[in-house]
Chains A and B, each alone.
Chain A
């Protein structure tokens, strides 16, 4: 048998989806940071997390390949060291005073308390392009949770609220189980929060 007839295969990479997911995670991280400041419900939800708490959302596998190649294709603000060396991540930290801060994508030297891991890039893509709602993705085992499950529920709830703020109704309806009626959340609140969060997320 000529063994060379059957070469070893190194499957490639999915450039577009990686860039998209990285930008979306960055947006979500920033948006949660802002929403925690401006929205009472988000603030209350996040208050349930312990202080000095670090949360990470990432796409498996960690540290798969340095992203030097992608650095040029990404907008400058998204490129940070974490993204280049550790793959796609989003780290949020709640400090002693209870303030939420987006810490970028570099896990080095940080103790991660809650780790939410998309099993593969395709899973992250489906969730972050709203083809699958958070609940459906959870049902389909698209991500796994490391750490206290209770905190991940808090995070998922925050994610739902932020999605309702940021997305137009027609898309948000796909992303959450139940789109709030007028009585549950007024359109005015949605609209004002949407504008505020977008502006502040992209400027600060």
Chain B
């Protein structure tokens, strides 16, 4: 295993996992000396009955009375301030966040204001504002994908200034992440597929991007193995609770990996396409992952080739020539997308031009590709990608991904030295 010249690693979130993990929450909260939690969630989660699932599971030991379910899809600091206000009004002493990325980020932000005092999150901008332990924060993810329960970053928008504020601190990390398959049971098959592919992308990019380290590698390898063994199974049989728990675990492991190792080109393009064309994150990830690997193959092909082992198992790995391994990895990811496409009746997209909205209209028009390519320069994920990616490079990748043909690697700009990790 590679020893990097320098690395740092931190994932100090307690993880409780299991078919009955939710039942353990009251005892864990009590250990943290918290008794009156505020549940932060969104309307979708409430609608799916998931708050009731949690309420039933914690039973009489912990009464859930305070629920804030107004977190929008793209949350901003005003929502955060509102949550903090309610927290104080109701004399809460902890937060339980139930939901996906937006809910978790809102809860992280609200916890800053609620714990440190003050009226608004804006007071805590900047990297050094949070310097002490915050109040207990429990996170129950409802999608097996984002991994935000493991990241020390909260991204919260300021609609007035039209910017995204970044809050980075180890104290923002949740105290507890609860992985229970009941929370993802009602997820439709195509969302199960795309969120798991998001996790797959986190793991793969963490494995070959610049900040790779022994621990992120170890977690990433395991996440890839679990997803490739379980995803199709769960999509075909949504009631497979053990499989769902496995996927939730894989998502968290991938979260551990990428929050310590950063993601690259796939997320760079994916974030941008998401912002401009409103393509769901997981969908963009599934489509772009093979291209991200192809684009970087001349810089770190050997490392990408290692992914074949967890992806396809030792037999295939041993049978494949070392030189052919990276290409085999790409081929298998494409095959996985195809299988998911078939298993979901076409709702899992494979190319950018295949994505349609509810009315069947195309979501990513070809004419927008140059705009997207330019805008990729504005996304932080470009830093960790092994190969430099300027707008012209991004355009090359986007054109191929739009049409759904493999990347013509002879056209990729080369000229860097071998990647040193």
Direct contact of A and B (CB under 8 A): yes
A residues engaging B (CB < 8 A)? 48, 115, 117, 135-136, 138-141, 144-150, 153-154, 156-157, 173-174, 176-181, 184
B384 within 8 A of A: yes
| A-B complex: 6 closest residue pairs judged by Cβ atoms | A178-B388, A178-B416, A177-B388, A139-B211, A144-B127, A139-B210
CA of A177 to CA of B388, assembled, Å: 6
Which of B378, B383, B413, B414 interacts with A135 by CB under 8 Å? B383
B315 within 8 A of A: no
* A157: B residues at CB distance < 8 A: 377
Which of B126, B262, B413 interacts with A139 by CB under 8 Å? B262
Given contacts A148-B163, A156-B383, A178-B413, contact A141 B8 (CB under 8 A): yes
CA of A135 to CA of B414, assembled, Å: 17
* B387: A residues at CB distance < 8 A: 177-178
Interface footprint category on B: 20 to 34
A153 touches B413 (CB 8 A): no
A178 touches B210 (CB 8 A): no
B358-398 toward A: CB 8 Å interface, digit per residue (1/0)? Answer: 00000000000000000001111011101110000000000
B210 touches A179 (CB 8 A): no
Which of A140, A153, A179, A181 interacts with B380 by CB under 8 Å? A153
Q: Which residues B254-292 have CB closer than 8 A to chain A?
A: 262
Q: How many A-B residue pairs have CB under 8 A?
A: 69
A179 touches B415 (CB 8 A): yes
B53 within 8 A of A: no
Q: A150-B163, A184-B413 are in contact. List 10 more A-B contacts (CB 8 A).
A: A139-B211, A140-B8, A149-B164, A149-B166, A150-B378, A173-B417, A178-B388, A178-B414, A179-B415, A184-B415
CA of A141 to CA of B8, assembled, Å: 8
B377 touches A153 (CB 8 A): yes
A-B contact pairs, 24 of them (CB 8 A): A115-B126, A135-B383, A135-B384, A139-B383, A140-B6, A144-B127, A144-B168, A146-B127, A147-B126, A149-B380, A150-B378, A150-B379, A153-B379, A153-B380, A153-B382, A153-B383, A154-B378, A173-B417, A174-B417, A176-B388, A177-B388, A178-B413, A179-B416, A184-B415
B residues engaging A (CB < 8 A)? 6-8, 126-128, 163-164, 166, 168, 210-211, 262, 377-380, 382-384, 386-388, 413-417, 420
Distance in Å: Cβ of B176 to nearest Cβ of chain A:
26
* B420: A residues at CB distance < 8 A: 136
* A140: B residues at CB distance < 8 A: 6-8, 211
Report the nearest A residue to B381, measured CB to CB: A153
Which of B127, B164, B383, B414 interacts with A138 by CB under 8 Å? B383
* A contact face: mostly helix, strand, loop, or mixed: mixed
Given contacts A135-B210, A148-B163, A153-B378, contact A180 B383 (CB under 8 A): no
* B378: A residues at CB distance < 8 A: 48, 150, 153-154
Distance in Å: Cβ of A186 to nearest Cβ of chain B:
14
CA of A141 to CA of B6, assembled, Å: 10
* B382: A residues at CB distance < 8 A: 153
* A179: B residues at CB distance < 8 A: 415-416
* A144: B residues at CB distance < 8 A: 127, 168
Distance in Å: Cβ of A20 to nearest Cβ of chain B:
21
CA of A149 to CA of B168, assembled, Å: 12
CA of A135 to CA of B384, assembled, Å: 7
Report the nearest B residue to A152, measured CB to CB: B380
Report the nearest B residue to A177, measured CB to CB: B388
CA of A138 to CA of B380, assembled, Å: 11
Distance in Å: Cβ of A115 to nearest Cβ of chain B:
8
CA of A138 to CA of B381, assembled, Å: 11
* B163: A residues at CB distance < 8 A: 148, 150
Report the nearest B residue to A181, measured CB to CB: B415
Distance in Å: Cβ of A190 to nearest Cβ of chain B:
13
A181 touches B377 (CB 8 A): no
* B384: A residues at CB distance < 8 A: 135, 138-139
CA of A177 to CA of B379, assembled, Å: 17
Which of B127, B210, B262, B413 interacts with A136 by CB under 8 Å? B210
CA of A166 to CA of B377, assembled, Å: 23
* A149: B residues at CB distance < 8 A: 164, 166, 380
B377 touches A177 (CB 8 A): no
Which of A138, A147, A174, A178 interacts with B415 by CB under 8 Å? A178
* B168: A residues at CB distance < 8 A: 144
CA of A117 to CA of B126, assembled, Å: 11
Report the nearest A residue to B416, measured CB to CB: A178
Report the nearest A residue to B374, measured CB to CB: A48
* A146: B residues at CB distance < 8 A: 126-128
B383 touches A145 (CB 8 A): no
* A153: B residues at CB distance < 8 A: 377-380, 382-383
B127 touches A145 (CB 8 A): yes
Report the nearest A residue to B6, measured CB to CB: A140
CA of A179 to CA of B413, assembled, Å: 10
CA of A135 to CA of B166, assembled, Å: 19
* A178: B residues at CB distance < 8 A: 387-388, 413-416
* B127: A residues at CB distance < 8 A: 117, 144-146
CA of A145 to CA of B386, assembled, Å: 21
Distance in Å: Cβ of B143 to nearest Cβ of chain A:
25
Interface centre among B128, B166, B168, B415 (most CB of A within 10 A): B415
